[in-house]
Structure 1
Amino acid sequence: MLVVNIAVLVGVFWHKIALPPYVPYIHLLVDYHFGFTKRALIGAIIALFTAKVPVWLVFALSGTVWLVTAALFVQLFRRTFGFDEKQLPLFVFMAGSPFFLKNFMHTLGHFDIYGCLFAIGLLLIPARSLGYVLLAAMASIALVLIHHIHLLMYVPTIAAIVVLRHYLVQGASRHNVAAGIAALAVIGVLFVAAQFYGTMRVPESEFIAHLQGRMADPSQTNLLSFAYIWYQPLAKEISDTWARLPHNALGLPVFVLLIWLHRPLWRYFRDLIAALAIETHRHIVTAAIVTVSLGYLVMFAIVFDYSRWISNWAVCLFLILHAVKMLPSSKDTLPIAADERKTMVFGWIVTLIPRVGIVRPF
């Protein structure tokens, strides 16, 4: 299954680089030239190093980020579970899931993977000091500046990781609680600023002219067709989402099926939570999962990239599972049984699905 997953990843990559990177490319062009702007951090960093942005940089940058994310996840899994034979089924259901690395390959250039990367980093480093809380806050701020929707997409998962790895282990002192509250306040204010004050204040023609000036090949004006999103208010995004809902909702049964195919993993996750030694920890983990899920439910009502939201929701649960494994437990949790026929069938189906998509399934 692991070998087939690698082959599928290669196929998804070759398919992806043949497609025009409309949204990913324009995100590399937008910077802070006209003042504070939403979705502009990555473009602003690139502007520090080069005045002209070639199209191939989309795949070079996002491919590098994908490789780093995949390598760190392997390291995280090795540290949390190990790579003995009994843990390989769990690794297949995570790393080989169409929700995870395969879908990140399909969405190369989009900003989702940065949230996953930062969350994995926070799962790998020590969480003993107040510096851990501050580092998580800085990562969340960077994510909101990359794209403000990260407030709902990965910031809640990062907050859950901080609670599970720092506050439940080190305890809640006056200083670290105050730091956590202050961090949440700053992130919230930054989100409001990006959402309501980060839109373009100059005419769209002037904005596009600036973007063309940053293009290595200004003749490819078709790659600027999504410039309108820097002018679109929240109300317009919501109305567009609800207008497309009847059509996009047709994919919901497919999402349910994909989630059900991961049943061995969810069953293991349930058993892992039930095995926690402290009852309060079980309640907090459950509350964290509900909070993260509610954030994605809100995203469903605002932006219609449903395949991406479902995929990232599953990835967030994968990451929370690792954080739960780090908590003290009262008993060992039985690993996913590789010799069960249903598990084997589910594993092969999950392996052969190349990705979930961006808006509608596949």
Structure 2
Amino acid sequence: MSLRAWQNPWRVMLAVNVAVMAGVLIHKITLPPYVPYIHLLVDYHFGFVKRALIGAIVSLFTEKVPVWLVFALGGAVWVLTALLFVKLFRRTFGFDDTHMPLFVFTAGSPFFLKNFMHTLGHFDIYGCLFAIVLLLIPAQSTGFVLLATFFSVILILIHHIHLLMYVPTIAVIVILRHYLNAGIDRTNLAVGVISLLALGALFLALQFRGTMPIPAAEFTAYLKTRMADPSRTDLLNFSYIWYQPLAKEISDTWQRMPSNILGVPVFALLIWLHSPLWRYFADLIRSLADDFQRRIVVAGIAAVTAAYLIMFSMVFDYSRWISNWAVCLFLILHAVKALPSARVASPVAGDDKKTGVLGWIVTLIPRVGVIRPF
């Protein structure tokens, strides 16, 4: 490492982040992919069911699903997401020394790429990927709203919980990038309202009509025919989730609440470690030239947060939810930066000692986890 690089520790942090991500990957491939693998097996063979789109697409290319496909497919999506985020950050902020601390607090956050590596094969990253695409492409025409709706349909078919996880963030991006810039007319308003109604109807259909319509034993027998190694019956332990009603999910969540709530102080600490980023975000919102746009941004962040609070009360994968909530804010930050401003927001101070310490801590934390912290 050259002397010049050491004089800019934020670039060293990026190198360390890459090493940490590699370590997370090595650890991840040693773990059995219980939930991700079974999602590659389930398709629409028995009719319209929830959580079946990815498996249905996989079935078009192969009759037998090997375990390694979880890591190959998940890894490809992870790489694409990381590359597009780098492209997005370069276009929004650039990679000069002034904005390098902001890049470390986002791309190097344990909430983001490192946690997506830990949850490799899960469906969360697809919402992030589609949101980044919507931040990169032009947003002037009504076609942008239709594309966002199409992406949202795909996400809900992958897993209906995306209605709360990433669809609200996609809606905020559409409002900030299209409606605030192009204005509201009869056409785009009608498209937006119809899209919201259609997405709500699709969610309800999957939530209440999307359970597997056959006995569990028959379902498991079919999944074995899709496995490259049918002896790995341990990978089918989560087949019950295609039968579990919403009431049971909520009941299980609240039964676990007393122990899982103990992780809240850790989540609060992790959020606080990103305080330089949050201060910059708040100043960026305050710098907006239009007071109405400022209120829309605040309302959008509140709506996204409310959706995650609803998820917290329904499903107990708390580490994933808090991580994806932070990622949603990272993405909304880019949409806000593109709005007209009255002044330049104060960047994250790279020469501040406390900020540097927080940057190193964020860099060295490998991931947040799935349910409980770490």
Q: TM-score range by the shorter chain?
A: over 0.9
Residues 1:257 and 2:272 are matched in the alignment: no
Instruction: Tell me which residue corresponds to 1:38.
Output: 50
Matches within 5 A, 1:168-187: 168-187=180-199
2: CA distance between counterparts of 1:259 and 1:184? 31
Match of 2:302 among 284, 290, 297: 290
Q: Give distance in 2, aligned partners of 1:272 and 1:297.
A: 25
> Which stretches of structure 1, 4 residues or more, deviate above 2 A after TM superposition?
none
Matched, 1:139 2:144: no
Is 1:355 the counterpart of 2:355? The answer is no
Counterpart residue identity of residue 125, structure 1: I
Over residues 297-356 of structure 1, what are the superposed CA-to-partner deviations in whole Å (9 max), with x where a residue is unaligned?
000000000000000000000000000001000111121111111100100000000000
Residue 8 (structure 2) aligns with: none
Say which SS state the counterpart of residue 206 (structure 1) adopts: helix
The 5-angstrom pairing of residues 323-342 of structure 1 reads: 323-342=335-354
- Does 1:128 find its partner at 2:140? yes
Deviations 1:19-73 (A, max 9, x none): 0000000000000000001000000001111110000000000000000000000
Pair 1:344 & 2:356 matched: yes
Q: Which residue number in structure 2 is paired with residue 94 of structure 1?
A: 106
How far apart in 1 are the matches of 2:141 and 2:350? 39
Aligned to 1:218: 230
Query: Alpha-carbon deviation of 1:140?
Result: 0.1
CA deviation after TM superposition for structure 1 residue 15, in Å: 0.1
Q: Which residue of 1 aligns with 2:73?
A: 61
Q: Which amino acid aligns with 1:308?
A: R
CA distance in 1, matches of 2:300, 2:161: 19
TM-score (norm 2): 0.97
CA positional deviation for 1:201: 1.1
Aligned equivalent of 1:230, options 233, 242, 245: 242
User: Hey, what's the Cα distance between the residues in 2 that align with 1:181 and 1:126?
Assistant: 21
Alignment match, 1:315: 327
Q: CA deviation at 1:75?
A: 0.1
**Partners in 2 of 1:264 and 1:271 — Cα distance?**
11
2, 18, 22: which one pairs with 1:6? 18
Secondary structure of 1:43's aligned partner: helix
SS of the aligned residue for 1:85 comes to coil
Which of 215, 219, 240 pairs up with 2:252?
240
Counterparts of 1:181 and 1:312, CA distance in 2: 26
Of all paired residues, the percent bearing the same amino acid is: 72
Counterpart of 2:98 in 1: which secondary structure?
A: helix
Please list, as runs of the form range in 1=range in 2, the aligned pairs for 1:109-128 lying within 5 A after superposition.
109-128=121-140
Aligned mate of 1:16, from 13, 17, 28: 28
Distance 1:327 1:42 in 2: 35
Residue of structure 1 aligned with 2:167, choices 155, 158, 164: 155
RMSD of Structure 2 on Structure 1 (CA): 0.3
What's the CA shift string for 1:51-107, capped at 9, x where partnerless?
A: 100000000000000000000000000000011110000000000000000000000
Tell me, which stretches of 5 or more residues in structure 1 are unaligned?
A: none
TM-score by length of 1: 1.00
Residue 206 of structure 2 corresponds to 194
Cα offset, 1:165, TM superposition: 0.1
Correspondence for 1:306:
318
What SS is found at the alignment partner of 1:35? Answer: coil
Structure 2 spans left out of the alignment, 5+ residues: 1-12
Could you tell me which of 107, 112, 116 is aligned with 2:119?
107
Q: What do residues 168-214 of structure 1 show as CA deviations (whole Å, max 9, x unaligned)?
A: 00000010000000000110000000100000110000000110000
Distance 1:172 1:310 in 2: 33
- How far apart in 1 are the matches of 2:222 and 2:335? 44
Cα distance in 2 for residues equivalent to 1:212 and 1:290: 44
- What is the SS of the residue equivalent to 2:99? helix
Query: CA shift at 1:286, angstroms?
Result: 0.2
